[in-house]
Copies of this chain bind each other. A is one copy, B any other.
């Protein structure tokens, strides 16, 4: 029998009615002839409740006990969904991480998969079971302790099972009906994509489109798992949602696939930093140590400061999430006080947003950047920082122009049309 992996997130199993709804979607796939492996999250809110209890009990908690507590929410939904499937006449069995077993590293709270042996579940399929309902987000360490995979771990579990079982596809049921050319709340011209390449999805995921967790897309790309995002609250069929797949599977060839944004950015500029070998490491080492997630980095060309001062200077600009600004500022001031480097001043701008265009077609098409900048200029949107990768171009702009910029770019690249 071909294997299909289906994943239901917290909102899709939030109560008994939604669990029943999920069961019906599984029933359809069983009817199509699949052996189905279902990955479930905890009921929405439950994991946060458990985390709250742990953090209230112990600020510097033992991650082994954190995992033992926090993983319990998924066990409940796995059992309840298996029961609901049985009521519908479908032989189903629930699986906790240690029962499969889902072997992971011992890195509690952010464990990584080591192996997912197929034998136990395959044996149950052989006995006539049609569905294995697996508790997501969890595994078991070599020491026999329960581990968790960190936030978004249920998506990652689903992809790992799809890879381990050579599944035909991995369907991620969530509260949106697919991946859009941009956020439909910003422009009603946003269009659902039928297909998107792994690389594009990765850029979109890390740029703030919250549909799929980055690590699960990386894993899908590495193991060539065909990943489908679709809604658990609508009627769906084999063509619903968005398929995340290899670019070879994508016929249409738009240059730009989507426009992403990230609202809460901050821009920081170190003015007149001494320019010498190792200066970047001297700056970004302390930022990393302080847990600042630096995103874009731009270094202006250096220039001689004055005829009498022979040291070269440069301006170094970087962006980070706005709520990490204070931490970043302190790290820079401490580093200067410790004599790691000097700078004239630190300019902080907390009113910026990031807008990006993403498209695998950029690899072979020139002129995307020029078109992007021209359309922003036409709207009088000033660009503060630019960063590019092979398949995306990102700009920092004033936050108040963010929606305008997204709409302008969506129009400029004709994303409304399929």
Contact = CB atoms under 8 A, between A and B. Distances in A.
Interface of A: 16, 19, 50, 53-54, 56-58, 61-62, 64-66, 68-69, 72-73, 75-76, 78-80, 82-84, 86-87, 93-94, 96, 98-99, 144-146
A57 B80 contact: yes
Contacts of A58: 83-84, 86-87
Instruction: Tell me whether chain A's interface is mostly helix, strand or loop, or mixed.
Output: helix
19 contacts: A19-B57, A53-B76, A54-B83, A58-B86, A61-B83, A61-B86, A62-B86, A65-B79, A65-B83, A65-B93, A68-B78, A68-B82, A69-B75, A69-B76, A69-B79, A69-B83, A72-B75, A75-B75, A96-B146
A80 B252 CA distance: 53
A102 B76 CA distance: 21
A307 B98 CA distance: 75
B62 A82 contact: yes
Given A57-B80, A65-B79, A65-B82, 9 more contacts: A16-B56, A53-B76, A54-B79, A57-B83, A58-B86, A65-B83, A66-B79, A66-B83, A68-B82
Contact of A68 (B79, B87, B146): B79
Given A62-B83, A99-B144, A68 B57 contact: no
Contact of A57 (B16, B50, B57, B69): B16
A70 to B, nearest CB: 8
Given A57-B87, A80-B54, A94 B68 contact: yes
A40 to B, nearest CB: 12
A72 B76 contact: yes
Contact of A98 (B61, B73, B78, B98): B98
Contacts of A87: 57-58
Contacts of A64: 93
Contacts of A72: 72-73, 75-76
A94 B64 CA distance: 9
